[in-house]
Amino acid sequence: MKGKLEPSVRQALVEEGKNLKEGLVSLEEDLVQLTDQLQQEAQCLPNITHPDVPIGGEDSSIIRKMVRSPREFNFNIKDHLELGKDLELFDFDAAAEVSGSKFYYLKNEAVLLEMGLINWAIAEVSKRGYIPLITPEIVRSSVVEKCGFQPRGQNTQVYSIENNDQCLIGTAEIPVGGIHMDSILPESALPLKYVAYSHCFRTEAGAAGTATRGLYRVHQFSKVEMFIFCRPEESNLYHEELIAIEEDLFSSLGLHFKTLDMATGDLGAPAYRKFDVEAWMPGLGRYGEISSASNCTDYQSRRLGIRYRPSSDTPATSKKGKGSNLAPTQFVHTLNATACAVPRMIICLLENFQQEDGAVVIPEPLRPYMGGLNVISPKAKTSQ
């Protein structure tokens, strides 16, 4: 086209160029559709599992550790619902009128307890070298999918925003996982460790019965989440670090709990291996899950496009870095773990540390984060 051409030849080339441009638009549309279909198919494939993971359903899970024994009470104990009513800590009835079932108001010392738990968890985990974060609580549906969750479908746990490609998060794992999306990290930056605070929103589709009453299974709650990006050869090591931090936190509060190596049937799609912590809830008369720690290997990072470049001569974090002489990139491994899921921690604290007079003793580590409050006492009855 730059040279001297006969008008007829030039016109033919112009027409050919137009046809190529139109064909390219059509091909790009087909590519978007095929990419979406491929993503949907890939989501049906879970991660592989660690060779030591027990095979079977939840009952096949193996106890790794048992901490303390259940407290023995010499009086008739109450569950957290009775305690919350007597101590004026919750209002489920008003929340049901305002928002629907499985919502709640926290009142009085319960507000201090939530704030205290959050600040205590962030402070304790930050001491161990984790970067504190407060995350967005609305994310793109594509990010939810890439993290291994299903934002659509009949049994989804995700609240989707109508007429918008966005969702409310069910865990801070999702926005933290996406913080380095489509990036190449320098090896020197790894491991990247975060401790993130967020509210979490879950539909709890199909959840019903006495096992879900009160604060145990709700639609909205606060949570502090740990998240690690690391080199592949280090993910098993950091998985052990995460569960050790969880055990230290819950042990320091004086809780009786067990740590489980969860069986294959209880692993979500992203998890290569998962350790759960179940604490004794005497008022409910059973153990309840209060946290989990998962090694997701490169399941999420492949979908999110998070890689690192080996070698010490790596430039600062960049988007889709360029350079022909650089070492080939590798996908990072991602791990996540719950430092504190507030409602279930409140259940544990109220039920385990209740007193015969109806009061609840606050564990010592939490007192500095609650203005020095030692005990939640019954309210004095005012005369009419």
Kindly report, residue by residue over 187-242, the tens digit of the pLDDT.
999 999 999 999 999 988 665 555 677 999 999 999 999 999 999 999 999 999 99
Predicted pLDDT of residue 148: 87
> Long-range contact list for 342-345, CB < 8 A, 24+ apart?
342/114, 342/117, 342/118, 342/221, 342/222, 342/223, 343/215, 343/216, 343/218, 343/221, 344/215, 344/216, 344/279, 344/288, 344/289, 344/290, 345/117, 345/290
**What confidence score (pLDDT) does residue 316 get?**
47
Q: At what angle do helices 109-126 and 342-352 cross, to 10 degrees?
A: 110
Cα–Cα dist 129/19, whole Å: 57
Q: What is the pLDDT of residue 18?
A: 86
Q: What are phi and psi of 322, to 5 degrees?
A: -120, 160
**Which residue among 235, 292, 294, 301 is the active-site one?**
292
Mean pLDDT of 22-45: 83
Helix (H, G, I), strand (E, B) or coil at 323: coil
The answer, yes or no, to whether residue 149 has pLDDT greater than 80, is: yes
- Inter-CA distances, 206 with 95, 217, 218, Å: 20, 11, 12
Helix (H, G, I), strand (E, B) or coil at 36: helix
Q: Mean per-residue pLDDT for 278-291?
A: 95
Q: Tell me how far apart the alpha carbons of residues 299 and 148 are, in angstroms, rounded to a whole number.
A: 8
Binding-site residues sit at 171, 202-204, 218-221, 225, 289-292, 336
Residue at 229: amino acid letter: F
Peptide bond connecting 328 to the previous residue in cis, omega within 30 degrees of 0:
no
pLDDT-based confidence at residue 96 (cuts at 50, 70, 90):
very high
Lowest pLDDT segment from 43-57, 269-283, 316-330, 335-349: 316-330
Q: Which of 68, 88, 289, 367 is catalytic?
A: 289
What distance in Å separates the CA atoms of residue 245 and residue 337, rounded to the nearest whole number? Answer: 9
For residue 43, pLDDT beyond 80: no
Which one is catalytic: 303, 307, 309, 344? 344
Catalytic residue among 109, 145, 217, 273: 217
Catalytic residue among 202, 273, 303, 307: 202
What residues contact residue 358 under an 8 Å CB cut-off, 6+ apart?
78, 83, 86, 87, 378
Residue 202 appears among annotated catalytic residues? yes
pLDDT at 322: 53
State yes or no: pLDDT of 74 exceeds 90: yes
Residue 129 has pLDDT above 70, yes or no: yes
In the chain, the amino acid numbered 345 is M
187 is catalytic: no
* 101 tagged catalytic: no
CB of 332 closer than 8 Å to CB of 183: no
Residue 293 CA to residue 226 CA, distance in Å, equals: 9
Spatial separation of the C-alpha atoms in residues 47 and 273, rounded to whole Å:
9
Q: Is 141 among the residues known to form the active site? A: no
State the maximum Cα–Cα separation within the chain, in Å, rounded to a whole number.
105
d(CA 269, CA 275): 15
Question: pLDDT by residue (tens digit) across 139-148?
Answer: 999 899 889 8
Active site residue 344: yes
Q: Is the dihedral of CA 337, 340, 343, 344 positive or negative?
A: positive
pLDDT at 384 over 50: no
